[in-house]
Each structure stands twice: as C-alpha cells, then as structure tokens.
C-alpha cells in the first residue's frame, strides 16, 4: 500500500513555490462551464480533487483540454440541460456540489449527486438549498442521494445566511449571477476563494460587488462570455509549509503567496516566537529555538482557518507550556490526536477543545492519515520527530497537496513515497 516513510529531525530550509488554491480551483472549474464560450484557467493545482472535478465536467459533456501541467482550456457548450451528474467521483469530492449552482444558473436545472469530502463533521447543505429556493428554484432531494434544483426563471432575492458558509456563498453566488434582478447575500463568507470566484465570474461578464465583505451584491446578467484567468495561490498549502518551518526549527521562504491571506497564520507564528518576514509575494519563517504556547480558535476568514487547525496543534504540541485550541467550525476535527499521541504528544480533547501540554520532542510512529489537512499535519509531526515514521492513507493528503514529498525533500526533509516493502527498505537503508 502506498505510504510515506519519513526520517525526522532535519531542520527544513530553503525556498518552496506554492501551487494554485485547490478550493478556489474547484469553484472556478465548476463555474467555467457556465458560458458556451471557451475559458482558459491557469495556475490550476495538480492534485487529485482537481483531477476529479475536471473528469466530472468532462463526463457531463464539457470539452477539457490540458495545455500544460497547470493550464486548462474548457468549453461547456455541449453539456445537455438536466443531465444527471452522478458517478463515483462526484460523490467523492466535496466541490462537485458547486455544479448545482453553476448548472442551475446556466440551464435553470441541475441534478447532482450529494457531495463527499473529508469526514470532519456533519457538513449539511441547508444554506445552499435555502439560497437556491430564495432565487425561485424548486429544490428536491431524490433518492439515492441526488439534489434536483430547477426553476422556470431564477429571480433575484435578498438572502441572509444563517451560518457563514464558504460553500453556500459560492453556490448561491453562481446561481444568482444569472438570476433576473439584484441579489444581496448577507452574512456571506469572506474567504479568499470566494473573492477569486467572484473575480473569475466578473471576468466572464458577471456583475458581482462586495466579495470579500459579508454583503455580496449581484446584478444578474443574461450572458457570460469566455475568459482567461489565473487562480490565486493556495493559502492553506502556504500555511502548512510555514508550520513545517516552525515545527522543525527551520528557515523556509514560501514563494508565490499573497501575504495578506496568511495574516492570521503569521500572527500566531509570531506569538509563539517565530520570525516572519514578508516581501512582495513571499513570506519567510524562521524558528531557531523552542517556541512558546498560545491559544487559538478557528473562525471564518479573516480568523484562523479550520483547515490549519491540525497543523497548529502539531506545532503547539512541541511548544513550551499549555496551549488551548478551540475548533468552532467543524465538530469532528480532532480525530488525528490519537495518532499524535502515539508520537508522545500530550493532548486532551474535550468536546471542541484540545488542551495541549507541550512536550520537548515527538518520536517516530506509524500512523494513518484521517483526512486531508490532518494528514499533512502528521507529516509535519513526523518531520519534527526523532526517528522514523510511516504515514498511511496518503490519498487524503494527495487530494490537496501538489508534489508534497518532493517539495519537502527540496527543503532537506527525508521523506519518500513508497508502495512496497522493497522500496521502504531501500529508502531506510539509504538514509540510516
Ligand atoms: C469549505 C472548504 C473547507 C473548509 C471550510 C471552512 C472547500 C471545497 N472546502 O468547506 O476546506 O474547511 O470551507 O473554511 O472549499 N454549514 C451549515 N449549513 C450549510 C453549509 C455549512 O450548517 O448549508 C456549516 C458547516 O457544517 C460548518 C460551517 O457551516 O459548520 C462552515 O462550513 P462551510 O464554510 O460551508 O464549509 P465547506 O464549504 O463545506
């Protein structure tokens, strides 16, 4: 079975280039079929979730042409109205539910299988449905696990989201772009990928204002046209490398980032004693001593991201003193703590709070990655640990990190993806 073998203990140093944002790409690729003209999307990350959404849109009739590793030309003119979107891939990736918003907006009808994604909590879609209904759509859940949304004509509405939801904001924004009149979404999510999708849609002729604030205003348009667009850098991939620098007492310059998107992460790293230097599109993180405890609570953007919660917990597990991490977005996001305990971490989880008593060091262990971000966090723990670790179920990590072992090796890590015992032995022999 494919897994990572890691020999910990090296301080990571050097430069790393960040890929395009996976979560922005999922939304933008789903929206790219809303026009019958050709759309070119650059800086698309080469990760399995994105390969999956590209296959899904190709399966329903879009023409998808790969220009280079990170650039795709997409034409959605051959997609048929109302065609059910359902196969194994659709159900695997969470982002496939963006096809409800995009197909409903384009054709007035969408039939899409319910989403999968990481098992980090209940993840309901009531706010998406509420928004579609407010725009005049009839939305039904039909078995087995399909959402069917249709409208004679979408009409603008004043929508108040009951919770701040990235997915619902994105989905409703896509449908509203083609609704007649002036839609207002209140209590909207402000995440960078919401803004990136709005910029993308505007480059196709949509009229969206206020993305990045909690009130988004959309003047519906009849027609969307082709565009060329480059996706923003991945804030979470960047943050993961920032924590890898801190946990290994390293010195990493993270390039091709938007430092503004990383402020909540930089602030926490500064609090625990790292030096952060921002310059243009790069952030350098230097940690040359044992770091100090702090508290953190996950919040919607611009708060500390839930997708960085496992990574900061891994770091705080090595910081001097007692730290408290509170998870306020998803209810089931501390499953990785059992794995971390195998490495010697001292962490107690009570409900949505982890109480962390920092230890001097972790020791290598064999672990399963429970989901995408927790998997990446366990890799950081293994890199910081004394001794060897093996991390299994790495397909989760590959959903969202492009060339993760290669990028880490370039920074001086001893990590190898192996898929049989011979490869594992060869790697361990070489580095011992
Ligand atoms: C997106 C990201 C995910 C990130 C999360 C929060 C993608 C593909 N995934 O997930 O990586 O962890 O944002 O930043 O972009 N909720 C409801 N009803 C709804 C929708 C959401 O109650 O209809 C709740 C959820 O259960 C959760 C909270 O709202 O407690 C936030 O979820 P949401 O922002 O929608 O997360 P996703 O879009 O699924």
- Least trusted range by pLDDT, from 25-29, 88-92, 329-333, 398-402: 88-92
Residue among 95, 121, 166, 309 to mutate when testing ligand 1 (max atoms within 8 A of CB): 166
Confirm if 26 and 102 have CB atoms less than 8 A apart: no
For 8, 59, 86, 149, 334, the CA distances from 113, given in Å and listed in that order, are 42, 14, 5, 12, 28
Predicted confidence at residue 402, as pLDDT, reads 98
120 lines ligand 1 (CB under 6 A): no
Dihedral angle, C-alpha 97, 101, 103, 104, nearest 10 °: 130
CA distance 397 to 378: 10
Predicted confidence at residue 116, as pLDDT, reads 56
The DSSP output letter for 304 is B
What are the φ/ψ torsions at residue 124 (nearest 5 degrees)? Answer: -70, 165
Q: Whose CA is nearest to atom 11 of ligand 1?
A: 307
Whether cis (ω within 30° of 0) applies to the bond prior to 144 is: yes
329 lines ligand 1 (CB under 6 A): yes
DSSP secondary structure of 222-253: S----EEEEPPB-HHHHHHHHHHHHHTT-EEE
Q: Give me ligand 1 centre to Cα 37, in Å.
A: 31
Kindly state the average pLDDT of the residues 369-390.
Answer: 97
Predicted confidence at residue 432, as pLDDT, reads 56
Closest Cα to residue 157, out of 177, 134, 137?
134
**Domain spans in the chain, listed from the N-terminal domain onward:** 3-19+233-431, 22-230
Non-local (6+) Cβ contacts of 291 within 8 A are 246, 272, 273, 274, 315, 318, 319, 320
- Ligand 1 atom index nearest CA of 126: 23
Catalytic residue among 118, 166, 170, 173: 118
What are the φ/ψ torsions at residue 322 (nearest 5 degrees)? Answer: -95, 130
Q: Whose CA is nearest to atom 7 of ligand 1?
A: 23
Give yes or no on whether 3-19+233-431 and 22-230 have one common fold. Answer: yes
Closest Cα to residue 223, out of 176, 178, 174, 170?
178
pLDDT (tens digit per residue) in 185-237:
999 999 999 999 999 999 999 999 999 999 999 999 999 999 999 999 999 99
168 lines ligand 1 (CB under 6 A): yes
Q: Give me ligand 1 centre to Cα 326, in Å.
A: 17
Predicted confidence at residue 120, as pLDDT, reads 45
pLDDT (tens digit per residue) in 309-356:
999 999 999 999 999 999 999 988 999 999 999 999 999 999 999 999
pLDDT band with cut points at 50, 70 and 90 for residue 122: low
Per CATH, the number for 3-19+233-431 is 3.65.10.10
100 lines ligand 1 (CB under 6 A): no
Residue among 53, 167, 194, 297 to mutate when testing ligand 1 (max atoms within 8 A of CB): 167
- Give the domain 22-230 fold: UDP-n-acetylglucosamine1-carboxyvinyl-transferase; Chain (3.65.10)
Alpha helices (H) along 135-221? 166-176, 192-203
Active site residue 118: yes
pLDDT (tens digit per residue) in 4-33:
999 999 999 999 999 999 999 999 999 999
Tell whether the model's pLDDT for residue 46 goes beyond 90. yes
Strand order in the sheet with 13-17: 13-17, 251-255, 282-286, 275-279
pLDDT (tens digit per residue) in 123-167:
788 999 999 999 999 999 887 788 999 999 999 999 999 999 999
Non-local (6+) Cβ contacts of 61 within 8 A are 76, 78, 79, 80, 83
Average pLDDT, the chain: 94
Predicted confidence at residue 124, as pLDDT, reads 84
**CA count, 13 A, side-chain hemisphere, 105:** 32
Entry pTM = 0.96
DSSP secondary structure of 104-132: HHHHSEEEEEPP----SS----HHHHHHH
Predicted confidence at residue 289, as pLDDT, reads 87
Predicted confidence at residue 332, as pLDDT, reads 82
Q: Give me ligand 1 centre to Cα 202, in Å.
A: 24
């Amino acid at each position: 079975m494919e897994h990572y073998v890691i020999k910990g203990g090296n301080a990571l140093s050097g430069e790393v280039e960040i890929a395009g944002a996976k979560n922005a790409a999922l939304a933008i690729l789903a929206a790219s079929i809303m026009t019958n003209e050709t759309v070119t999307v650059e800086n698309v990350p080469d990760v399995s979730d994105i390969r999956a959404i590209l296959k899904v849109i190709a399966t329903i009739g879009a023409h998808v042409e790969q220009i280079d590793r990170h650039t795709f030309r997409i034409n959605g003119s051959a997609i048929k109205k109302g065609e059910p979107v359902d196969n194994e891939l659709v159900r695997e990736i969470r982002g496939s539910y963006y096809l409800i918003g995009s197909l409903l907006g384009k054709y007035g009808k969408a039939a899409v299988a319910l989403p999968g994604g990481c098992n980090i909590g209940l993840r309901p879609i009531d706010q998406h449905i509420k928004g579609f209904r407010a725009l005049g759509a009839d939305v039904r859940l039909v078995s087995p696990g399909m959402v069917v949304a249709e409208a004679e004509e979408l009409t603008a509405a004043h929508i108040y989201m009951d919770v701040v939801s990235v997915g619902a904001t994105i989905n409703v924004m896509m449908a509203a772009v083609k609704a007649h009149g002036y839609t207002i979404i209140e209590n909207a999510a402000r995440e960078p990928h919401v803004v990136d999708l709005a910029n993308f849609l505007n480059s196709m002729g949509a009229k969206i204002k206020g993305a990045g604030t909690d009130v988004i205003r959309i003047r519906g348009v009849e027609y969307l046209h082709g565009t060329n667009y480059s996706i923003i850098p991945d804030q979470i991939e960047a943050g993961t490398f920032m924590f890898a620098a801190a946990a290994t007492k390293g010195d990493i310059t993270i390039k091709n980032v938007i430092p503004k998107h990383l402020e909540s992460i930089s602030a926490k790293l500064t609090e625990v004693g790292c030096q952060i230097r921002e310059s243009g599109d790069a952030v350098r993180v230097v940690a040359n001593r044992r770091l100090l405890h702090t508290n953190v609570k996950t919040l919607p953007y611009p708060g500390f991201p839930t997708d960085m919660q496992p990574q900061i917990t891994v770091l705080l597990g090595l910081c001097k003193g007692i730290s408290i991490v509170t998870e306020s977005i998803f209810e089931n996001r501390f499953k990785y703590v059992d794995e971390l305990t195998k490495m010697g971490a001292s962490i107690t989880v009570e409900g949505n709070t982890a109480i962390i008593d920092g230890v001097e060091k972790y020791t290598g262990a064999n672990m399963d990655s429970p989901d995408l971000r927790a998997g990446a966090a366990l890799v950081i723990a293994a890199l910081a640990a004394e001794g060897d670790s093996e991390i299994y179920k790495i397909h989760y990590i590959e959903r969202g990190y492009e060339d993760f072992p290669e990028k880490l090796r370039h920074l001086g890590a001893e990590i190898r993806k192996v898929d049989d015992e011979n490869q594992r032995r060869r790697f361990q022999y070489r580095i011992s």
